[in-house]
Amino acid sequence: MTTSLIDYQPAADLLQDRVILVTGAGDGIGAALATSLAAHGATVILLGRTIKKLEKIYDAIVAAGYPQPAIVPLDLEGATADHYQELAATLQQEYGRLDGLVHNATYLGALMPVEHYDLQLWARVLQTNLTAPLLLTRALLPLLKQSTAASVIFTSASEIQGGRAYWGAYSVSKAGADNLMQILASELETNTSIRVNSLIPGPVQSQTRRTAFPGEDPNQHPEIETLLPAYLYLLGPDSENVNGQILHAQESHQVLAASI
Ligand X SMILES: NC(=O)c1ccc[n+]([C@@H]2O[C@H](COP(=O)([O-])OP(=O)(O)OC[C@H]3O[C@@H](n4cnc5c(N)ncnc54)[C@H](OP(=O)(O)O)[C@@H]3O)[C@@H](O)[C@H]2O)c1
Question: Taking the complex as a whole, how short is the minimal distance between the CB of residue 95 and ligand X, in angstroms?
Answer: 21
User: Which one, 117 or 213, has the nearer CB to ligand X?
Assistant: 213
34 touches ligand X by CB under 6 A:
no
29 touches ligand X by CB under 6 A:
yes
Question: Taking the complex as a whole, how short is the minimal distance between the CB of residue 40 and ligand X, in angstroms?
Answer: 19
20 touches ligand X by CB under 6 A:
no
3-state SS string over the chain? CCEEHHHCCCCCCCCCCCEEEEECCCCHHHHHHHHHHHHCCCEEEEEECCHHHHHHHHHHHHHCCCCCCEEEECCCCCCCHHHHHHHHHHHHHHCCCCCEEEECCCCCCCCCCHHHCCHHHHHHHHHHHHHHHHHHHHHHHHHHHCCCCEEEEEECCHHHCCCCCCCHHHHHHHHHHHHHHHHHHHHHHCCCCEEEEEEECCCCCCHHHHHHCCCCCHHHCCCHHHHHHHHHHHHCHHHCCCCCCEEECCCEEHHHCCCC
> Where does this chain touch ligand X (CB under 6 A) — which range of 11-19, 144-152, 200-208, 241-249?
200-208
User: Which one, 105 or 140, has the nearer CB to ligand X?
Assistant: 105
Which residue in the set 182, 208, 239, 250 belongs to the binding site for ligand X (CB under 6 A)?
208
Residue 84 appears among annotated catalytic residues: no
50 touches ligand X by CB under 6 A:
yes
Instruction: Report the residue number whose CB is nearest to ligand X.
Output: 28
In the set 58, 170, 231, 233, the catalytic residue is 170
Question: Taking the complex as a whole, how short is the minimal distance between the CB of residue 208 and ligand X, in angstroms?
Answer: 3
Question: Taking the complex as a whole, how short is the minimal distance between the CB of residue 77 and ligand X, in angstroms?
Answer: 4
Gap between the Cα atoms of 139 and 27, Å rounded: 24
Which residue in the set 3, 4, 71, 77 belongs to the binding site for ligand X (CB under 6 A)?
77
Active site residues: 170
Interface with ligand X (CB under 6 A): 24, 26-30, 48-50, 53, 75-77, 104-107, 128, 155, 157, 201, 203-204, 206-209
